[in-house]
Amino acid sequence: MTDQSKIPLPPELRSASGPSLIERASGSFDFRTLTRPVVPDLPPAPKPSAPKPVAVAVPAAPVAPAPVAAPAPFAPPPPETIVEVNRFTGAYHKIDREHLREQCIIEPESAVTSTLEEFRIIKRQLLRVAAESRGGQGTRHGERILIASAHPGEGKTFCAVNLAISIAAEKDNEVLLVDADFAKPSVLSTLGLPGGKGLMDALADPSLPVEDCVIGTDIAGLYVLPAGNATGSDTEYLASARTNAVLDRLTAHSPSRIVIFDSPPVLAASPATVLANHVGQTVVVVRADVTGEAALRDAVGLLGACEDIKLLLNGTRFSTTGRRFGTYYGYKE
Ligand SMILES: Nc1ncnc2c1ncn2[C@@H]1O[C@H](COP(=O)(O)OP(=O)(O)OP(=O)(O)O)[C@@H](O)[C@H]1O
Ligand SMILES: [Mg+2]
């Protein structure tokens, strides 16, 4: 990295009670600067793309949008081109609520917590874009949301799981959480679910219906697609034409389904860059005071295939063991 400066917290958030779990990034960083061409010390993005508008996930953030022309509306595919698909047919498992609690993951049915409230705010903007996309407006495949970040440990899986549980609570939506971190999958362990075949198996074996790999859970509306077995050619499989067909099967005839992809670090592995071609929205998780500005620019540049990139500033006060600490994370007790 050529620039090691950190993303600072906005002064107003440095309160005595400490920063919020998911902070608003506005005021701490000029997102519009990310729309300038990236000068990376990393390999360039796979395909050149025009600078993209970047916004925070929190709607009220006073961030001026970059002066970029709105993407052209697209016509939804005619019904006959959508692959006929049955309901998900994989295993069904219960999720241990205590296991969720230990990792600060939202517990469905529990009292309102700060984490729950923050993800409620974040999901609204994402769901709005998804709904517009389904109506043929704005971005294509807005119902597919990639969770990415520059480096390991910045909270991608934490945010992907919390966002999925939050969206599953919506009356009008169900959610499929896809573990696309093939080298280091952690969605199943985070949710306390057993292993099984997953996306990479379905991509590598055309005879395996992807819906057979999807795990149903006792959290209403929440489904999980494991990463599956890594192949050594994961990126090539992801980049293949078959990926489009497999992803289409995940949402065909399910207009209310949101698909969330957890991914490996953008600057350490290529799947996120490739997946950016397949999704309509990307959320880049930024760890305040940790993520380097140059790394963030590089990551956003590599995700440039996605039209709609948002930044989500993850809180500063968490332990990398995932255990709660301090009074803030004792909120629910
Ligand atoms: N806001 C937060 N509050 C509490 N714990 C958090 C928070 N964000 C992340 N963590 C914890 O920090 C650890 C690292 O987070 P996580 O696994 O989500 O990072 P990641 O970006 O997915 O990492 P990797 O790239 O290695 O997959 C986990 O134990 C997670 O539970
Ligand atoms: Mg992860």
Chain segment 63-101, per-residue pLDDT in tens? 334 444 444 445 544 443 444 445 888 899 999 999 999
Q: Per mean pLDDT, which range of 53-57, 118-122, 128-132, 328-332 is the poorest?
A: 328-332
The answer on pLDDT for 172 being more than 60 is yes
The answer on pLDDT for 212 being more than 60 is yes
Residue nearest atom 3 in ligand 1 by C-alpha distance: 318
Enumerate the H helices of 139-240 as residue ranges.
156-168, 187-191, 199-204, 234-239
Ligand 1 midpoint to CA 72 (Å): 36
Average pLDDT over residues 218-242: 95
* pLDDT value for 317: 54
C-alpha atoms less than 13 angstroms from C-alpha of 113 in its C-beta half-sphere: 22
In the chain, the percentage of residues whose pLDDT exceeds 90 is: 60
Sign of CA pseudo-dihedral 145, 151, 157, 162: negative
Average pLDDT over residues 222-236: 95
Mean pLDDT across the chain: 78
- The atom number, within ligand 1, closest to the CA of 103 reads 31
Mutate to test the pocket of ligand 1, among 23, 101, 105, 158 (most ligand atoms within 8 A of CB): 158
Residue 282 pLDDT level (bands cut at 50, 70, 90) = very high
* Ligand 1 site, CB within 6 A: 21, 103-104, 149, 152-158, 181, 184, 186, 264-265, 314-315, 318, 320, 322
Residue 162 pLDDT level (bands cut at 50, 70, 90) = very high
CATH H superfamily, domain 21-60+98-330: P-loop containing nucleotide triphosphate hydrolases (3.40.50.300)
Enumerate the H helices of 135-198 as residue ranges.
156-168, 187-191
CB of 230 closer than 8 Å to CB of 240: no
Residue 113 pLDDT level (bands cut at 50, 70, 90) = confident
Nearest to 159 by CA among 182, 138, 190, 128: 190
Average pLDDT over residues 231-246: 94
Residue nearest atom 25 in ligand 1 by C-alpha distance: 152
CA distances from 136 to 36, 247, 257, 308 (A): 29, 18, 16, 15
Q: Match 């993850």 to its residue by tokens.
A: 314
Helices and strands (H, E) in the chain, number of each type: 9, 10
Average pLDDT over residues 16-35: 42
Q: Match 């149903």 to its residue by tokens.
A: 216
For 211, list phi and psi in degrees, rounded to 5.
-65, -20
pTM attached to this predicted model: 0.78
Residue nearest atom 28 in ligand 1 by C-alpha distance: 322
Ligand 2 midpoint to CA 160 (Å): 9
CA distances from 262 to 30, 168, 285, 327 (A): 26, 16, 11, 29
Q: Per mean pLDDT, which range of 71-75, 190-194, 217-221 is the poorest?
A: 71-75
How many Å separate Cα 102 from the centre of its chain? 21
Cα 328 to Cα 214: distance, rounded to the nearest angstrom: 35
Nearest to 214 by CA among 83, 85, 82: 85
Q: Between residues 79 and 195, which one has the greater pLDDT?
A: 195
For 143, list phi and psi in degrees, rounded to 5.
-80, -10
Report for 136-140, 219-223, 250-254: range of highest mean pLDDT: 219-223
Average pLDDT over residues 264-269: 96
* pLDDT value for 228: 97
- The atom number, within ligand 1, closest to the CA of 287 reads 8
- The atom number, within ligand 1, closest to the CA of 149 reads 21
Nearest to 99 by CA among 222, 188, 197: 188
Between strands 309-314 and 54-56, the pairing is parallel
